[in-house]
Amino acid sequence: MAKNRIIYLGALIGIGIFFFDYDGWISQLLFLTTLALPAVSLLFSLPSLFSTSVKISVSGKCPRGAENDIVFSLSGGALSLWPLCGIKARVTDLIGDSSDIQEIILTNDSPVTVHIDTAHCGVYECRIFKAYMYDFLGLFRFPVKAPKTVSVTVEPIPVCPNPAPDFYSIGARAMKPKPGGGFSEVHELREYRAGDPLNAVHWKLSAKTDDLIIREAQEPLKLTVVLTVDLSPDRELLDKALDRLKWVSDKLIEMEIAHQIRYVDENGQQVRADVSDKAELDKLIKELMSKPIRYGRRSMSTDSIREADWRWHIGSTGGGGNEDE
């Protein structure tokens, strides 16, 4: 815009000198036309100013390594009247605590694509902090409507730890007698004890054994299942840890086992999050990847979690171990 103003000012000075040196209608017409050009340009640009907005198209989440781009374009009414639109946007890698400034020039038929590096897991935030429209001559600029912030979540790819967790040890302790009896799809057979209701007697089996056998209703035992994970500032190691965390948590969700995920945040505080379905898991992983990971963070492997009935720890290298307590 500064270049256009200098060019216009130079043209105006040159035509002004011609106007004062040459007394004729041509010099008058040129001088008046040059003086009027900014007003005319501004007048014809106003419809675009009130109808133009910046549009951002992007997939909100994708697996690590997949193609994903932020596409900037213009939308609105008076397409034929659109001049140039300038944008300044900051793309920030939240987990890596780094950012890049993008300067973009848009026209009505030329969207601009900004590539997102999806080589590593993380949340990438694009924030527009300047969006302005030029008039036709490029002498004036005005702010235009634009979305302030969009984000892209690059998700981990589930990978089974080696060795794999022993999920059967959870199932072995996952049932208990249902207080008061009643309906249940799972039952355990045992000998009759004084006070047992007669409607719980398994009469066919009792007739075969000559002893009263009780069908005791069982219900799931609510165990404290905990996944702990160390978060490394090394992106390769972090990817491995998140891949294995997602795999283990997905399997527990498929088994309908509610569990808790614990890690140490950027302030050195232990974070505890309850997970019972995939939506909660996705939300937790996004929150985890929205904060910077710094060196010197405390390892979860040194934490004593005495209340856990079953625990699986994922180290900073992505490896795991069953620390069943």
CA atoms within 13 A on the CB side of 113: 7
Average pLDDT of the chain?
81
Label residue 80 by pLDDT band (50, 70, 90).
very low
What is the average pLDDT across 228-256?
92
Structure tokens at 223: 């165990």
Q: Which helix (H) or strand (E) holds 45?
A: helix 25-51
Under the banding of pLDDT at 50, 70 and 90, the label for residue 324 is very low
Contact 264, 203 (CB under 8 A): no
| Confidence band of 64 (pLDDT split at 50, 70, 90) | very high
Mean pLDDT for the stretch of residues 256-263: 90
Closest Cα partner for 18 from 8, 10, 28?
28
CA distance 44 to 3: 21
Euclidean distance between CA atoms 131 and 180, whole angstroms:
67
Tokens 């505080």, located at residue: 269
Report the share of the chain in percent with pLDDT over 70: 83
Residues in the chain: 325
Q: Residue 88: what residue type?
A: K
> How many other CB atoms are there within 10 angstroms of residue 107's CB atom?
13
> Which of 37-46, 52-61, 153-162 shows the lowest per-residue confidence on average (mean pLDDT)?
37-46
Report which DSSP code applies to 76: S
What 3-state DSSP class applies to 169? helix
Residue bearing the bigger pLDDT, 323 or 172: 172
User: Within its chain, how far is the Cα of 92 from the centroid?
Assistant: 12
Name the one residue in this structure whose structure tokens are 């009792």.
Answer: 206
CA distance 116 to 91: 9
What is residue 183's DSSP assignment? -
In the chain, helix, strand, coil percent, each to 5?
30, 30, 40
Confidence of residue 84 (pLDDT cuts 50, 70, 90): confident
Q: What region does 69 belong to: left with phi over 0, alpha with psi -120 to 50, or beta? A: beta
Task: Give 195-210 pLDDT, tens digit per residue.
Answer: 777 777 877 777 778 7
Considering only CA atoms, which of 198, 202, 224 is closest in space to residue 211?
A: 202
Structural contact between residues 114 and 72, judged by C-beta atoms closer than 8 angstroms:
yes
DSSP string, 214-274: EEEEEEE----EEEEE---SSHHHHHHHHHHHHHHHHHHHHTT--EEEEEE-TTSPEEEEE
CATH topology of domain 1-155: Immunoglobulin-like (2.60.40)
Q: What angle do CA 151, 270, 231 make, to 5 degrees?
A: 55
Q: Is 209 helix (H, G, I), strand (E, B) or coil?
A: helix
* pLDDT tens digits, one per residue of 267-295: 778 889 999 999 999 999 999 999 888 76
